[in-house]
Amino acid sequence: MKMLINVPETVVADALRGLAAAHPELTVDVENRVIVRRDAPVAGKVGLVSGGGSGHEPLHGGFVGPGMLSAACPGEVFTSPVPDQMLRAAAAVDSGAGVLFIVKNYTGDVLNFDMAAELAEDEGIQIAKVLVNDDVAVTDSLYTAGRRGTGATLFVEKIAGAAADEGMPLERVEAIARQVNENSRSFGIALSACSTPAKGSPTFDLPPGELELGIGIHGEPGRERRPMMTSGEIAEVAVEAVVEDLRPRNPVLVLVNGMGATPLLELYGFNAEVHRVLAERGVPVARVLVGNYVTSLDMAGASLTLCQVDEELLRLWDAPVKTPGLRWGV
């Protein structure tokens, strides 16, 4: 596989140097692998810290800035960051109002954020944690016990970030983040496998003419493999899986997310089919986001995330945000 890299060993450091050059509003510590809002810590504001393996860009570093995260910790490709990174990030953004860790449900992330929370509390930093586990496709996988954390991470980071920017206390920001996670469900589809820089070839075999339903963001296998389907047929499967589990009573936020290699032409077409199926099921749509936000390197495919919202959650979603990967209202 051809890749626009120097060598696999420096791919994350090279990307961080490029992020720093493109976004001077961020403080990027390439050596220690921490990305921080340049204005952090903000007096009286709860700090939001997230992180995970690289390869899911713009998650998480692309979501650092006003209205979202205070800091992010990138690990190696598909590998959890280490507790020292998380501790550095928490210390850099703590204003005395506490820090919320937003953690995707993958075993390495959970263990390392738990350890970092203990270390931070030993240093007098008040820590709260929210676990994102929105994927309805499988209960357990190669990377996790329980449901995987996927597209809802964006909803949690955006809405909790707005709450923190409004000056809400840590307990309230944590409660809102938990509410968003509980109100969100996701389902992913792969049309091709991804290729990691270290391996240089597809991470799993997906024959021509077949797709994988229910994949995770590391290319983990899903619930089943089928012959290739039309966009409308895939939308039927994805919406059915999410709606049957979520059973929304309120309007929903819709995230039609590309896995890294699917062009917007296809994603917008898939979004049209998703809206058709939601309308047939009587699910009202409040807001829509289409694009590559929670990716899996160069995987072709998409994921669907729905989050049912009340007036407060919708107001916080609409609040201004200014990050490399998400921006509106500013």
pLDDT of residue 319: 98
pLDDT of residue 142: 64
Spatial neighbors of 205 by CB under 8 A, at least 6 apart, are 193
Q: Partners of 213 in the beta sheet?
A: 189, 224
Copy the structure tokens of residue 246: 């979520």
Distance, CA of 72 to CA of 70 (rounded, Å): 7
Burial (CB < 10 A; 0-12, 13-18, 19+), residue 43, is exposed
Q: Are strands 285-291 and 252-258 parallel, antiparallel or unpaired?
A: parallel
Average pLDDT over residues 15-19: 98
For 262, the 3-state DSSP assignment is coil
pLDDT of residue 63: 98
Residue of 23, 56, 60, 275 marked catalytic: 56
Whether the pLDDT of residue 83 is over 70: the answer is: yes
Whether the pLDDT of residue 176 is over 70: the answer is: yes
- Average pLDDT taken over every residue of the chain: 96
Catalytic annotation on 218? yes
Average pLDDT over residues 320-329: 98
The proportion of the chain whose per-residue pLDDT surpasses 90, expressed as a percent, equals 92
| pLDDT band (50, 70, 90) for residue 219 | confident
| pLDDT band (50, 70, 90) for residue 139 | confident
Residue of 23, 60, 218, 275 marked catalytic: 218
Of 67-81, 96-110, 191-205, 252-266, the least confident:
191-205
pLDDT of residue 138: 78
pLDDT of residue 143: 64
pTM of the model: 0.97
Spatial neighbors of 287 by CB under 8 A, at least 6 apart, are 253, 254, 314, 317, 318
Residue 185: alpha-carbon gap to chain centroid? 13
Catalytic annotation on 56? yes
Distance, CA of 90 to CA of 130 (rounded, Å): 15
Whether the pLDDT of residue 204 is over 90: the answer is: no
